[in-house]
Amino acid sequence: MTEKLAFNEIYSNYKNLVLKAAHIYVDDLDTAEDIMQDTFLALYRDMTDKEIESEKEYSNIKSWLYTTAKHMALNYGKKAARTISADALEGSDVIEEPVSESLESEYLGRIAEEERAELHERIFAALIKKNPRWHEAIMMTGYLEIPTAEAASRLGMSENAFYAMMHRARKWIYKKFGVEYEELNRF
């Protein structure tokens, strides 16, 4: 497979995943599209000396794309916050504090959100090790919002078999991570 063909195939297969990952962390679709382009540009630069030869490498690329888009989106948010703060300082003598319940609750909310994101990453990492088809099915229906019938078709299985597979995957996730997930969502 040539480098250009491999990149084009990866782009067409994962552009929605990368866009969705970016859009989760930035609410602006235009910004998410910019992040998607930057993510694929980074991949293209990285691929100049490599060829994708196995399905395992594709799954690694999928994880790399998702993680890279997520980090680029988070960095964009931090940079935008700094820019807004600097603009506010230049524009007026009085800085109005944003209204919030308390700094402590805001801080605890951010910590909980980071812990949830870390747990989700660990769940998906464990899921891909346990059964890559489960991972792919959950990514298609949960993140890419592909209809069940289309996802089943892409995986070459009937809808009933797809539902059974999803049930087993969810049951495994709950068994392995259920207590931890409930603890995080208690507050």
pLDDT (tens digit, 9 = 90+) per residue, 25-51? 887 888 989 999 999 888 888 776 565
Amino acid at 61: I
- Res 50: pLDDT: 60
**Region 82-100 average pLDDT:** 55
Average pLDDT of the residues in 150-166: 93
Residue 105 has pLDDT above 80, yes or no: no
pLDDT of 93 above 90: no
Query: pLDDT-based confidence at 86, cuts 50/70/90?
Result: low
3-state secondary structure labels for all residues of 52-70:
CCCHHHHHHHHHHHHHHHH
pLDDT at 97 over 90: no
- Domains, the chain, in order of start with CATH, read 1-93 (1.10.1740), 101-181 (1.10.10.10)
Task: Tell me whether residue 65 is exposed, middle or buried, using C-beta atoms within 10 angstroms of its C-beta: 0 to 12, 13 to 18, 19 or more.
Answer: buried
